[in-house]
Amino acid sequence: MELSELIEVTRVRDAFMRKGPRPAQIGDICIFGHHLIFAPTTVSKEVPDNSEEFWLLHKAVDRVLCEPISKENPQRGGLLALKCKNFLMIIFEIGDLEICRATARTIEALSNINGFLHDYAFFYNSPFTILDDGWSAFDPEQEFARLMLSTDAFRISSVNENFTVCPTYPEKLIVPKGIGDDYLRISATFREGGRFPVLSYFHKETRSPLVRCSQPLIGPTNRRCREDETILNSLLTLNRGYIIDTRSKSSATAAKAKGGGAEPLGNYRQWRYIQCPIPRQREIHDALTRMVDVCSDRKISSDRWVSRVGQAGWLTAVAASLEASANVAQCFYSEGLKEVPVVIHGGDGLDSTLIASSLAQIILDSDARTIRGFEAVIEREWICAGHPFSLRNNHCAYAEGTVTGPYESPVFLVFLDAVHQMISQYPMSFEFDENFLIFLFEHAYASEFGSFLGNSEKEKKENGIRKKTVSLWSHVHHPENMKQFVNVCYDPTAGVIWPSIAPQCIKIWDRLFFRWQRPDNSWSKPETETIQSLADHWKLREKELTAKASSLRRSVIELSRELRVNSPL
């Protein structure tokens, strides 16, 4: 299929952008295979920046609406509304209603192409020199080599070569050293989707492993798998371990009736079982829809606003994610013990499991709070771990796909919002700021890079994504690009940071939900300049005080010497 076959209108002249990312103006709409381009024909002298073209990926459009300006007088033309996945709303007035409808059909078709093989990432030519190839920046063998510096209790396994055991896992996995590949294959038949237990993270301070998998297929008959029990028990050394289930008790019980379930304590005697529920993917999807709806309503009263924000359930989902991950992190420090293994799973291990495992690492490890460390968490715990980005992010808050609708959910956005809450509570502990999180949010839904394409490493390999596209991390690692994400107040905090989940501490992410409601959309510039100015001031002040303290120490030493010399024997 050629994308040109879907284009009914290539150019719309003298369209009026009534609402969008810039003040209202007249221009031409040009439609190409991957982009809509708005080229202004009238430029305001007061706002000279509006002379630049505005480019929008069709993939970034979530919903297209078209209606006449006046139902009584269709000759006045039509309104074309584009609701984007980053919550931007663009409204054009087009003089001819039929051209407006043809434009809407064109954008609707181009923004809803099944699959990702026609995405712009396959046609994008990088305008910058790639100094650090993102595709090779996070290699599993390099990760394993770093792990070997801390422990020799694990090995790297190729049991999933050619994705024969688990289609959603990568080909190379880190597993307990004493466990053979045969046991892993048998365990895979006992776990949902073949997702047998694999190492997610090793906590150096307590020498405790964090392992993730999917639910056991216990079923109504209480099926048992001794090989799976052996794998988990091989993690135990000094103390009992913890199994964290990210489902509610009712969800786990319902799953058992359908063939799933949870580990029976009688078979896993050395493990404590804890439930830390995180909302399911459908609940998260509906919560975001309600949240965006209430944040877009400007005519709502204050009382109604507070009520609807609470009823939306989005902040509840973010708080539940933080609570579950904090409980995971706390297990490592339970009763002051060391070598306490923790296993996380939910249902299929593709959503809430990854939220809990990745957030726990950010809580525990200061390296995960650097730009590269955070990228490594996303690469390892989301992209390589098999989170189905193409399915989950096919649509956002405004629409649902005909085929992918039941599978769509902003699970990754819940993770990013939870990280944002931690940045708000510990603003100096992260090397990056919320601009980096918003950047990742937008590229997870529509991007010229290939990092978030596909639903698994298997799909990436089958479609040559790593060979045919540019990695998002290649763009981020370029010095000119990285500096826009750096937190100017960064002061590394060693060790653990414990997030607060008190209601008064969980706040709405204003730059995400209200980003396009400021008249000039200028969130970052004045605030960044203020923060930079304050940072420079206090750094200078710190140098002055350090110099003064050194001078006082020298004076104290000299006075002490004089005192010893002049004092009588």
- Alpha helix ranges (H) inside 426-566: 434-445, 457-462, 465-468, 472-477, 479-482, 510-513, 524-566
Burial class (CB in 10 A: 0-12, 13-18, 19+), 243: buried
What percent of the chain lies above the pLDDT cut of 70?
94
Q: How many helices (H) and strands (E) does the chain have?
A: 19, 14
Do 25 and 14 form a contact (C-beta atoms < 8 A)? no
Q: Which two tokens stand for residue 524?
A: 């970052």
Residues 6+ positions from 393 with CB-CB distance below 8 Å: 85, 408, 410, 412, 444, 445, 452
Specify the pLDDT at position 288.
97
Band the pLDDT of 299: cuts 50, 70, 90.
confident
Whether the per-residue pLDDT at 47 is higher than 60: the answer is no
Band the pLDDT of 298: cuts 50, 70, 90.
confident
Specify the pLDDT at position 16.
95
3-113 maps to which CATH number? 2.30.29.30
Whether the per-residue pLDDT at 160 is higher than 80: the answer is yes
Q: Give the pLDDT confidence of 240-290 residue by residue, as tens digits.
A: 899 999 999 999 999 999 999 999 989 999 999 999 999 999 999 999 999
Q: Which of these, 539, 356, 399, lies nearest to 87 by C-alpha position?
A: 399
- In degrees and rounded to multiples of 5, residue 506 shows phi and psi of -95, 115
Whether the per-residue pLDDT at 566 is higher than 90: the answer is no
Band the pLDDT of 529: cuts 50, 70, 90.
low
Specify the pLDDT at position 333.
87
Whether the per-residue pLDDT at 38 is higher than 80: the answer is yes
| In the chain, domain spans | 3-113, 140-419+450-458
Q: Which two tokens stand for residue 466?
A: 């790593």
Distance between start and end Cα atoms, the chain: 101
Q: H or E segment at 281?
A: helix 281-295
Q: Give the pLDDT confidence of 426-478 residue by residue, as tens digits.
A: 999 999 999 999 999 999 999 999 999 999 999 999 999 999 999 999 999 99
Specify the pLDDT at position 297.
87
Q: Which one has a higher pLDDT value, 389 or 479?
A: 389
Rounded to 10 degrees, the C-alpha dihedral 84/89/93/99 comes to 10
Specify the pLDDT at position 564.
80
User: Which of helix, strand or coil describes residue 146?
Assistant: helix
Specify the pLDDT at position 310.
92
Q: Give the pLDDT confidence of 335-356 residue by residue, as tens digits.
A: 677 889 999 999 999 999 999 9
How far is C-alpha 88 from the geometric centre of its chain's CA atoms? 19
Specify the pLDDT at position 43.
67
- Alpha helix ranges (H) inside 11-63: none
Specify the pLDDT at position 138.
87
Question: What average pLDDT is seen over the chain?
Answer: 91
Report the amino acid identity of residue 341: P
Specify the pLDDT at position 528.
57
The rounded distance, in Å, linking the Cα atoms of 192 and 109 is 35
Do 327 and 244 form a contact (C-beta atoms < 8 A)? yes
Specify the pLDDT at position 557.
87
Specify the pLDDT at position 30.
96
Whether the per-residue pLDDT at 296 is higher than 70: the answer is yes
Specify the pLDDT at position 540.
77
Q: Which two tokens stand for residue 1?
A: 């299929």
Give 208-224 as a DSSP string: EEEEE---B--TTTT--
Band the pLDDT of 550: cuts 50, 70, 90.
confident
Q: Which residue has the tokens 């439609």?
A: 31
Q: Which one has a higher pLDDT value, 41 or 285?
A: 285
Specify the pLDDT at position 547.
85
